Amino acid sequence: MIGLMAREETRTVEPRTAMSSTERGTAPATHTPETEPGAGRTRAWATRLVVLGIVLSALNLRPAITSLGALLEEVRDGLGMSGGVAGLLTSVPPLCFAVFGVTAPRLARRFGPAAVVCAGMAAITAGLLIRPFVGGTAGFLAASALALMGIAVSNVLMPVIVKRWFPDRVGSMTGLYSMALALGTSLAAAVTVPLTDAMGGSWRSGLAVWAVIAGAAVLPWLPLVRDRGSAPEQAQDRRAKAQHAPVAQHKPVAQHAPVRITRSRTAWALAVFFGLQATAAYITMGWMPQIFRDAGVPAGTAGVLLAVTMVMGVPLAFVIPRVATRLPQQGPIVLVLGVCGLAGYAGLYFAPAAGAWAWAVLLGVSNCAFPLALTMVGMRARSGPGVAQLSAFAQSTGYLISIPGPLLVGVLYQQSGGWGLPIALMAALMVPQIVVGFLAGRDRTVEEEAAAR
């Protein structure tokens, strides 16, 4: 995959170099990265590094959360953590994503997206390495927040990097990123306990081991930390102008003009869609095994069912973005995913144990609204800065929306003594998710809407 991306990028650079040499015959020589000897080869290697960085970064955006979930009981016992603090710990991820994610565009403008993602991976590495050994609940929470801060800024900037380096392959690259993210999520949930047992049963070692993979994700970004501009987009503008395409002449202006993102209805629809799908995902990850266990499913099987739900995102996260970018509107995909979610919740309500495997698969398909939301972030803005603003707004607002969901499900379960009301709430939330998904999937950009109001 990396070699293929590099070969494609090399093919796009070679004509650009030839055009530049022609222009030098009639104009003063100006050396740019595209006109220097060997620029095509350098650009191809940079593309390989970006693809590798995207994959490794995506693998590290959820293990900090799912590895802790697998060992939460041992962590509570080891730190003397109360049930209330443990409940707070499960709500920290979306809160950190909302608070720290909103800072990502400003950091990217100052230091460059690659440098910020590199720092984010370093923060994840440090947080995962420190938190098992700090020796107290407060330190554990602080180190977890450090790792989550790195995840938050990387969450926001991944669509920006995809748009900046692969503007013609947003769907395939978002699919690759989403597939790696789903793989990292399910892998950490599945192997943390066996790894802990293999290393002597220490939960501290079982959590700290994930810092190794996070540290590896820092390396591809190091050669790119000084890349602050928008060279790929600017090169496309120059090539289009050389081919007498006046439609691209306004593009640099749009890239530097700030977008009043709150004036865009599409931005609001995408933020609410992101929040509702995140709510469904966190409820599923946090409560689905307990629903199956209360229905009589053995604990081990309930864990496998959750793994099945998470693994569904690996192949579908690659397919759905590619399909979405080929459609003028993404509403039909939103509807299919929503119907799968409604069917899964209906199954949990009426026959949770009898059709457990079918409900796990259906909810896994429904949870693929996440890669669809990321794809729409890249499609609903024209420029890199616009994608950065939209990504920060949609993700920060969305994660704020998602915070009460898992807590409310727990309260309803405790008060009612069963899963009828919580499952009804989950199904009810799927209806507005479909509605706002249709609105977010319309063929328009936030720049157009902001300028029109």
Q: What element of type H or E holds 283?
A: helix 265-294
**Per-residue confidence (pLDDT) for residue 42, from 0 to 100:** 74
Measure the CA–CA gap between 340 and 364, rounded to whole angstroms.
9
Cβ–Cβ under 8 Å, residues 251 and 237: yes
**Per-residue confidence (pLDDT) for residue 343, from 0 to 100:** 97
Q: Please report the sign of the dihedral spanned by the C-alpha atoms of residue 55, residue 196, residue 363, residue 434.
A: negative
Provide the token pair at 133: 């050994």
Measure the CA–CA gap between 125 and 149, rounded to whole angstroms.
11
Q: Mind giving me the DSSP string for 174-231?
A: HHHHHHHHHHHHHHHHHHHHHHHHHTTS-HHHHHHTHHHHHHHHHGGGGGGTT--S-H
Provide the token pair at 194: 């066996």
pLDDT tens digit at each of 453 positions of the chain: 444 444 444 443 333 333 433 344 444 444 444 444 455 677 788 888 999 999 999 999 989 988 887 787 788 888 887 766 766 676 788 888 888 988 988 899 889 999 999 999 999 999 999 999 987 888 998 999 999 999 999 988 998 898 888 888 888 888 888 889 888 888 887 788 888 889 988 999 999 999 999 999 999 999 988 766 544 444 444 444 444 444 333 344 344 456 788 889 999 999 999 999 999 988 887 788 888 888 998 877 887 788 888 888 888 888 898 899 999 899 999 999 999 999 999 999 999 999 999 999 999 999 999 999 989 998 998 887 888 889 889 989 998 998 888 878 888 888 888 999 999 999 999 999 999 999 999 999 888 887 776
Measure the CA–CA gap between 380 and 212, rounded to whole angstroms.
36
Measure the CA–CA gap between 76 and 82, rounded to whole angstroms.
7
**Per-residue confidence (pLDDT) for residue 40, from 0 to 100:** 65
Burial class (CB in 10 A: 0-12, 13-18, 19+), 248: middle
Mapped onto helix, strand or coil, the DSSP state of residue 34 is coil
198 Cβ contact partners less than 8 Å away, ≥ 6 residues apart: none
Measure the CA–CA gap between 431 and 435, rounded to whole angstroms.
7
Q: How many CB atoms lie within 10 A of CB 78?
A: 15
φ, ψ of residue 302 to 5 degrees: the values are -60, -40
Q: What is the DSSP letter of 31?
A: -
Mapped onto helix, strand or coil, the DSSP state of residue 242 is helix
Measure the CA–CA gap between 146 and 141, rounded to whole angstroms.
9
**Per-residue confidence (pLDDT) for residue 213, from 0 to 100:** 94
**Per-residue confidence (pLDDT) for residue 25, from 0 to 100:** 43
Rounded (to 5) percent helix, strand, coil in the chain: 80, 0, 20
Q: Please report the sign of the dihedral spanned by the C-alpha atoms of residue 98, residue 105, residue 271, residue 169.
A: negative
**Per-residue confidence (pLDDT) for residue 39, from 0 to 100:** 59
**Per-residue confidence (pLDDT) for residue 228, from 0 to 100:** 62
Query: How far are the Cα atoms of 110, 114, 448 from residue 387, in angstroms, in the given order?
Result: 16, 15, 13
Query: How far are the Cα atoms of 43, 77, 154, 355 from residue 224, in angstroms, in the given order?
Result: 11, 43, 15, 49
Measure the CA–CA gap between 21 and 379, rounded to whole angstroms.
34
351 Cβ contact partners less than 8 Å away, ≥ 6 residues apart: none
**Per-residue confidence (pLDDT) for residue 7, from 0 to 100:** 43
| Number of alpha carbons in the 13 Å side-chain half-sphere of residue 81 | 24
375: left (phi over 0), alpha (psi -120 to 50) or beta: alpha
